Structure 1
Amino acid sequence: MGAGKSTVGKLLADKLHYDFVDSDHEIEARTGVTIPMIFDIEGEAGFREREIAMIDELTQRNDVVLATGGGVVEREANRQHLRSRGFVVYLQSSVESLIQRTRHDRNRPLLQTDNPEQVLKDLMERREPWYLEMADLVIQTQQVPVHRVVKQIYDRLQQEQII
């Protein structure tokens, strides 16, 4: 949440001449409602079920850069689809940096609480082992210009002969 997945993803997709897809935006487009509304109506469990179906579909596409929600790793089906069907990049950032980037964003249901910093710390503690396990490449994004992050990913994709 707030690591720069959409920003980096769009720039990388442009550089690769691929399509850029944000799985959360796809879910919103298909349902006609926002992610916070889905959380309100169906709860997090309902949203995660929609997310599993979306990740399964999107990871079967070719020539796409896919940005996922931060919680995608919490479901084994998502981890399997992402690992087996693509090159996974973990944009790593400190909790402090994520707090700064998300503090005014009302479109993040899990952070609509009295203590968003603690929520981010708890989420990071729970999710980071999965992020690290899944990642083909880990890039520290804290205080790194976005174009440098994109170049690092592009260079690694070339090195791995993926592009």
Structure 2
Amino acid sequence: MAEKRNIFLIGPMGAGKSTIGKYLSETLHMDLYDSDQEIERRTGADIAWVFDVEGEEGFRKREEQVISDLSELQGIVLATGGGAIKSPLTRNRLSARGIVVYLETPIEKQLARTQRDKRRPLLRTEEPPREVLTRLADEREPLYREIADYVVRTDELTAKQVATQIVELLGL
């Protein structure tokens, strides 16, 4: 039997990486991992707490290690955190160890999907959410595109439809 390649989902917060990852893993019979959930499991604390105590830099170091560890596995779907691609090491590992799918999502959809979510540390600031998301998009969009093998828009489709589209794109 041919070895299954990893599928890595990247994109901004609110893109649907975790939900789409769930559908992909079920459809393809692959194990699903979520880097944020793995950080929470390893630390015994939620992401917001890690941000509060260690700052973004401390969180990113943990994220880099978790993604390094998980990306060494075979035949997985990995939903990454929106800022994971900030690390050159993480970008290199994702590119080298699997198929990278960028879930492109407009700011309007991100706002709608994250407006009630209090667990997103980067949105817990005085800065209006639209400005935060726009700034993050400006910083991260080129990095997402740099390593993406495929770009899939998520704004007009359900998570299940996006997962189906990814399966078709990958010919699986």
TM-score by length of 1: 0.95
Question: Over aligned residue pairs, what C-alpha RMSD do you find?
Answer: 0.8
Q: In structure 2, what residue type is equivalent to 1:97?
A: K
> Match for residue 103 of structure 1?
115
Mapped pair 1:90 → 2:110: no
**Higher strand fraction (1 or 2):** 2
SS across alignment from 1:89: strand
Q: In structure 1, what residue type is equivalent to 2:83?
A: G
How many residue pairs align between the two structures? 159
SS across alignment from 2:77: strand
For the residues of structure 1 that align with 2:30 and 2:23, how far apart are their CA atoms? Answer: 10
> Match for residue 120 of structure 1?
133
Q: CA deviation at 1:147?
A: 2.2
Q: In structure 1, what residue type is equivalent to 2:43?
A: T
| Of 41, 45, 70, the match for 1:33 | 45
> Match for residue 142 of structure 1?
155
> Match for residue 31 of structure 2?
19
For the residues of structure 2 that align with 1:36 and 1:151, how far apart are their CA atoms? Answer: 32
Long gaps (5+) in structure 2: 1-12
Q: Which runs of 4+ in 1 moved over 4 A?
A: none
SS across alignment from 1:70: coil
Q: CA deviation at 1:150?
A: 1.0
Q: In structure 1, what residue type is equivalent to 2:140?
A: R
Q: CA deviation at 1:137?
A: 0.6
Q: In structure 1, what residue type is equivalent to 2:70?
A: L
For the residues of structure 2 that align with 1:37 and 1:91, how far apart are their CA atoms? Answer: 27
> Match for residue 131 of structure 1?
144
| Worse-matched range after superposition: 83-92 or 141-150 | 141-150
**Higher helix fraction (1 or 2):** 1
Identity of aligned pairs, percent?
Answer: 48
SS across alignment from 1:45: helix
Q: Deviations over 1:33-52 (max 9, x none)?
A: 00000011100000000011
For the residues of structure 2 that align with 1:21 and 1:147, how far apart are their CA atoms? Answer: 17
> Match for residue 7 of structure 2?
none
Q: CA deviation at 1:145?
A: 2.2
Larger RCO of the pair (alpha carbons < 8 Å, separation 6+): 2
SS across alignment from 1:105: coil
| Of 32, 51, 54, the match for 2:66 | 54
For the residues of structure 2 that align with 1:74 and 1:58, how far apart are their CA atoms? Answer: 17
Q: In structure 2, what residue type is equivalent to 1:70?
A: G
> Match for residue 74 of structure 1?
86
